[in-house]
Amino acid sequence: MDVVVVGAGIAGLSCARALTDGGARVRVVERGRVVGGRLASKRFNGRYADIGAAYLVADDPDFSAQVASWESRGLARLWTDTLRVFPGGEDSTGPVRWAAPAGLRSLAADLADGLDVRLSTRLDALPEDADAVVLAMPGPQALRLSPPPAIAAAANAQSWQPVIAAVLTYPAREWGELHGAFVNDHPVLATVCDDGDRRGDGAPVLVAHSTAALAAQHLDSPETAGPILAAAVGELLSLRSEPEVNVHRWTYAQPEPTDAPYAADGRVWLCGDAFGRPRVQTAWLSGRAVARALLT
């Protein structure tokens, strides 16, 4: 069986990995210059910062085994179960969050190792030369490939919110003990994470994620959201220094959860994090569920 997987995010890579392990011939095509999609780490001043997913949570047994494999090889590290909640500034204990010393994208790179991945290759139509085509991406992106009716319907049923991420590099750490924080009821700020703490190198770098409302206002010129997010973080944590600010726009950042594990129409399949709670684990499971269905 020849399969083309379109999208080298975590869903596409877990699908391709499972298909390859099951004996299929798989080609992965990715429009970006690197794998990972929203599991993204970008280099600023020679150091990677996580600009997409902030961390992993693993409560599915199979994904937990995948995370354990990454941990055993030094690729993933247990970060924290405690994040601060604003307003109020109280610490709140929740699930264990996992991070990656080399940045979360390194986990996608590990899955991609040994696969046939064609980078910088954007598809504008479904490939004809495959027994199956797996669209592993947000529904609105899948619609650009004119998929068959059931895929188009599933994609159209998805609802997405944008996020702008701001990487804030300070001269020195001046925020004391902070892993990360959820910021509720704030007009511009949704989360702040200590990237030096989660990566484990202690770098004075915070990553802020905007509210969907701020992102929607600044989608055409995301850099204009940078100073707004930096000011909001400075005020929240009572910081004196001005950071260097770099921003990244995620037009399709967070979907509303749906129930099915994937969508299918003939030889075309759609998977990703819209099929469940919008998390890395969901994307990984969705891609693998498509692979299993194809292999049987």
Ligand X SMILES: Cc1cc2nc3c(=O)[nH]c(=O)nc-3n(C[C@H](O)[C@H](O)[C@H](O)COP(=O)(O)OP(=O)(O)OC[C@H]3O[C@@H](n4cnc5c(N)ncnc54)[C@H](O)[C@@H]3O)c2cc1C
Give the footprint of ligand X on this chain (CB under 6 A).
Answer: 6-12, 29-32, 37-39, 52-57, 122-123, 136-138, 141, 144-145, 163, 165, 209, 250, 253, 272-273, 278-280, 283
User: Least distance to ligand X from the beta carbon of 63, Å?
Assistant: 10
Nearer to ligand X, 237 or 270 (CB): 270
User: Least distance to ligand X from the beta carbon of 181, Å?
Assistant: 13
DSSP the chain: -EEEEE--BHHHHHHHHHHHHTT-EEEEE-SSSSSBTTS-EEEETTEEEE-S---B---SHHHHHHHHHHHHTTS-EEEEEEEEEETTTEEEEEEEEEE-TT-THHHHHHHHTTS-EE-S---SS--SS-SEEEEES-HHHHHTT---HHHHHHHHH--EEEEEEEEEE-SS--S-S-SEEEETT-SSEEEEEEHHHHHTS--SEEEEEE-HHHHHHTSSSGGGGHHHHHHHHHHHHT--SPPEEEEEEEEEEEEPP-SSS-EEETTEEEESTTSSSSSHHHHHHHHHHHHHHHH-
Nearer to ligand X, 30 or 110 (CB): 30
Nearer to ligand X, 8 or 214 (CB): 8
User: Least distance to ligand X from the beta carbon of 235, Å?
Assistant: 21
User: Least distance to ligand X from the beta carbon of 207, Å?
Assistant: 9
Nearer to ligand X, 41 or 141 (CB): 141
Nearer to ligand X, 167 or 240 (CB): 167
User: Least distance to ligand X from the beta carbon of 88, Å?
Assistant: 21
User: Least distance to ligand X from the beta carbon of 171, Å?
Assistant: 25
Nearer to ligand X, 127 or 171 (CB): 127
